[in-house]
Structure 1
């Protein structure tokens, strides 16, 4: 299971540029594999600290996306940054805050990250956050999205 957060500061989200393969140099939300003995919430906060050096207040579960072709489930929580004291960890080249229009959509590392971000910004515009679930191969995304999801990643 891959666990992560959508770290939020006002109208911006924190993204990490990957320092490791796969997808070296591409942008992602802070996330990584669950460790033995930890809860999903603890794992998501741990990964956010490890990859982005960011302390967050964890919010509700936001997306649970099945990725059957690699036998994974990707789970993301909403999270509020506690402060602006963040920095790239060993698995990140850089971390920075993005407004929606600044996100480098063509350089997002994984389909689940594209989907989670698109759902987040759509929900924020609608004023109502909801849990998003499904198989990444079949999921329907909001029309106002900025990039195609059907590109292989």
Structure 2
């Protein structure tokens, strides 16, 4: 149960919610005091891509908070009724104006303390002359040596970048799974 949950009223009937373990369940849930509707809170998927062109990665400098002005892989929240890859490709088009080919799963990073999962796909940029969207101040292709590591927006992005450049050196791009149990540095 999320401590910072803002659920107060039932979306079915408008009555107050209480936190309790429903019959047959094992976890606390928000339950309507009038109609009994159970309101589930579920983790959030962050979906994105590692867009590659000639061994360099396309990063976007954020025009929005959090982390305004920092560099990020194109990524964002998966929408309802949207697949993870479709969401990642949508975010890449919206933020970087880029289309990808040869797309495949690259990294799954579980972040249970934040009730989230970060899912990255990797793919080749079709046209390097892509134009960023309104959530991006600028974008650029970076080699490993050019990455502004101290100006990367999120630890999950650092992890994905480190995995990509490590794989590149090995000559084989693999799939990576990691779990981050607590907040803090990578």
For the superposition of Structure 1 and Structure 2, which TM-score range results when normalised by the shorter chain? 0.7 to 0.9
Question: Which secondary structure does the structure 2 equivalent of 1:16 belong to?
Answer: strand
Aligned to 2:130: 86
Runs (4 or more) in structure 1 with deviation over 6 Å come to none
Aligned to 1:144: none
| Bigger radius of gyration | 2
Higher relative contact order (CA 8 A, sep 6+): 1
Structure 1 residues 69-148: aligned runs within 5 Å:
69-137=113-181
Post-superposition Cα deviations, 1:62-88, rounded to whole Å, max 9, x if no partner, equal 100012222110000111100122122
Q: Distance in 2 between matches of 1:130 and 1:121?
A: 11
Post-superposition Cα deviations, 1:108-134, rounded to whole Å, max 9, x if no partner, equal 010100000000000110012211112
Post-superposition Cα deviations, 1:127-150, rounded to whole Å, max 9, x if no partner, equal 122111121248xxxxxxxxxxx9
Q: Does 1:43 align with 2:117?
A: no
Structure 1 residues 1-80: aligned runs within 5 Å:
1-80=45-124
Q: Distance in 2 between matches of 1:88 and 1:114?
A: 21
Count of paired positions: 142
> Unaligned stretches of 5+ in structure 2?
1-44
Question: Which secondary structure does the structure 2 equivalent of 1:88 belong to?
Answer: coil
Q: Distance in 2 between matches of 1:137 and 1:15?
A: 26
Question: Which secondary structure does the structure 1 equivalent of 2:67 belong to?
Answer: coil
Quickly say closer, same or farther: Cα 1:128–1:3, change in 2 above 3 A. same
**Please, what TM-score do these two structures have when normalized by structure 1?**
0.87
Tell me the C-alpha RMSD between the 2 structures.
1.6
Deviates more, 1:113-122 or 1:68-77: 68-77
> Unaligned stretches of 5+ in structure 1?
139-149
**Please, what TM-score do these two structures have when normalized by structure 2?**
0.72
Q: Distance in 2 between matches of 1:151 and 1:35?
A: 27
Aligned to 1:145: none
